[in-house]
Amino acid sequence: MIAIDIPTLVLSSVILLGVATPFISYSIKSKKAKAQFLNGFNQYVSGLNLKVDVQEDWRNRYILGIDSTKKTLVYYQIGENETKSQVKLQELSNAVVHQSYLNSDNPTATSKSLEQVTIQLYFKDPAKKTLNLEIYNQEYYSDLLGETLLASKWAELINERLSK
C-alpha cells in the first residue's frame, strides 16, 4: 500500500499550479484577443453587406477574405497601421506577390533579409493606383511563419477568380 504524505502533496500541487498559471493566463489572453480581432472583422464585413466564404487570418493582425457571390476581396489589418479594404474582383487585372529586402540596394551585401511581403493588386483602369496588401512586415515580426507561401496562395486564388 502507498502512503501519501499530505504536506508533500500540497506543496507539489502549489508548485504545479505556479508553473501552469502563466501558460493558462497566456492561452486565455490569446483566445480573447483572437475573438476580439475576429469580431472586429465580422462587424466590418457585415457593415459592407458581404458574406465571406473563403478567409484566412494570421498573427491575430491580418485577414484576407473573398465573398464569392459578390466577387469581392476583403483585407483587414489591425495594429499601428490599421487598414480595411474591399475590392471588386471585376476591377482587377492581376495580383502579384512582391518581396522587398533590407540591403537590396547594396550590391556588396552578402545576405539579404526579408523586409516586407505584400500582394500587389493591379487594376484594369490604369488611372487607379496599385493596391498593396501587407502580408508580412519585419518591423512588427522578426520571424516568418509561412507568410511567403500564404501570399503566393492568395495571389493565385485571386488570379483564379479573375479568370472566371
pLDDT of residue 116: 92
- CA 50, 146, 38, 77 torsion-angle sign: negative
* pLDDT higher than 60, residue 79: yes
User: Looking at residue 110, what is its pLDDT?
Assistant: 66
Please answer whether residues 114 and 138 qualify as being in contact, where contact means their C-beta atoms are separated by less than 8 angstroms.
Answer: yes
CB 74, CB 64: distance < 8 Å: yes
Identify the CATH assignment for 50-163 out of 2.30.29, 2.20.28, 2.60.40, 3.40.50.
2.30.29
Predicted local distance difference test score (pLDDT) of residue 105:
64
For residue range 10-62, list pLDDT tens digits in order.
889 999 999 999 999 999 999 998 999 999 999 999 999 999 999 999 998 99
- The pLDDT score that the predictor gives to residue 80 is 83
**Using 50, 70 and 90 to split pLDDT, how confident is the model at 9?**
confident
What are the residue boundaries of the structural domains of the chain, listed by start?
Answer: 50-163
DSSP labels, 80-133: TT-EEEEEEGGGEEEEEEEEEEETTT-TT-S--EEEEEEEEEEESSTTSPPEEE
Model confidence at 82: pLDDT above 60: yes
pLDDT value for 106: 65
Computed over every residue of the chain, the mean pLDDT equals: 90
Minimum mean pLDDT range among 80-94, 107-121, 147-161: 107-121
Phi, psi of 43, rounded to the nearest 5 degrees: -65, -40
